[in-house]
Amino acid sequence: MKPVVWVRRLPWAIVLIAIVLMSLGWFGIARCEELTGGSGGFLRRQVGYSALALVIMIGLSIPNYRVLCRWSYPAFLLSLLLLMVVYLFPATHNAHRWIRVGPLGVQPSELAKVAFVLALARYLMYRENYRRLWGLAVPLAITMLPVVLILKEPDLGTAAVFLPVLFVMLFAAGARRWDLARILLMGLLALPLLWTQMTGEQKSRVTALFEQPAADQRPSDEAYQLHQAKRMLAMGGTWGSLVAGPLTDDLAAYRLPEAHSDFVFCVLGERFGLLGLGAVLGLFGLLLWRGAAIAVATREPFGRLVAIGIVTLIAVQVLVNTAMTVGLLPVTGLPLPLISYGGSGLLAHGIGLGLLLNVALHPGYELTNEPFRYVVE
């Protein structure tokens, strides 16, 4: 594609929204370091991660994504291999989630989410594969392989993202609703078994939702993080401390574990208030709406399913992260896309958005020597 055509056809709205969301993440991380007396190291690294993610996002929009289709299965197998390699490295906070080489580290579960979308889209692009109930066994296997490995780390939050993406992609691909309903019913019946396999810490995160300590009562250790998250949101009020000023100079009131990563939404609420959080959710809404429009406009099955998978992946993570910070879902440790601190997550979302841009540039019906001929590569 010629550079002039590429510039004209690229969905710059998605690029701009991604840049604004990453910039908001910088504000949130800077506020975290201000409240904890940090040296600014998190912020500097996050800016570097954001720049690299932006380069990857733009770079992946250039080659035709259909060329990448043939690499979907190898990429998925590589992600599974990396999910097993994590156990060769020392545990961090009693979890095997990182591969570290010197100062550099990567979290394979973040990259596995994008590889999973590519592999599932590659399989579902052939309609005859899933029109019967037995044909759904392969998509379920593609899903459960990374889910089991990620649950073993353990990382319940990341593992839970895969199943909603599977169902949305199956529905979009044309799987029969009755088959999907039966699988969903089997999943609901398996929930008691899942509860028995959860660790004591994971169970405490669920029970903490129902603990409502009084204003003068200290919450239990299990409910402390959620209590502080709600308190941080309340201190932001309508306008936030940036406009209205802080409610208190007591830094203990702002003590929130993992504030720069999993709970950065609360920090943005304290800084920019309710109106600021509305703007953040509005930006995510615009991003998802634009991504869904790309999926609808795409006629090539692999590209359409990739676009749907990426949009669903982002939507589920936004929903789970924001819901857990206000006490509607258990605390799962799932970061907020493009905003939370973390290089692996930013790079994974840069890859996902780059694929989305690529699909938008190659919707399936393109001008060739034969006008509007369907292009297959």
Specify the residue for token string 């109930």. 133
**DSSP strand E in 162-272: where?**
none
Per-residue pLDDT, averaged over 177-190, amounts to 79
Residues 6+ apart with CB under 8 A from 56: 347, 350, 351, 354
What pTM, to 2 d.p., does this model score? 0.90
pLDDT at 93 > cutoff 80: no
Between CA 194 and CA 198 the distance in angstroms is 6
Burial degree of 214 (CB within 10 A; 0-12, 13-18, 19+):
exposed
For residue range 285-303, list pLDDT tens digits in order: 999 999 999 999 988 899 9
Q: Which residue has the tokens 């099955």?
A: 301
DSSP H or E stretch at residue 72 = helix 72-85
Decide which of 207 and 339 is more confident: 339
**Amino acid, res. 97:** R
More confident residue, 152 or 183: 152
Is the model's pLDDT at 370 over the cut of 50? no
Q: What is the DSSP letter of 172?
A: H
Backbone conformation region of residue 93, classed left if phi is above 0, alpha if psi is from -120 to 50, else beta = left
- DSSP class of residue 300? S
Residue pair 364/375 in contact (Cβ under 8 Å)? The answer is yes
Residue 19 pLDDT exceeds 50: yes
Number of Cβ within 10 Å of residue 144's Cβ equals 15
For the ranges 150-154, 215-219, 251-255, 306-310, which has the lowest average pLDDT? 215-219
Across-strand partners of 101? 104
Nearest to 291, CA basis, from 375, 172, 200: 172
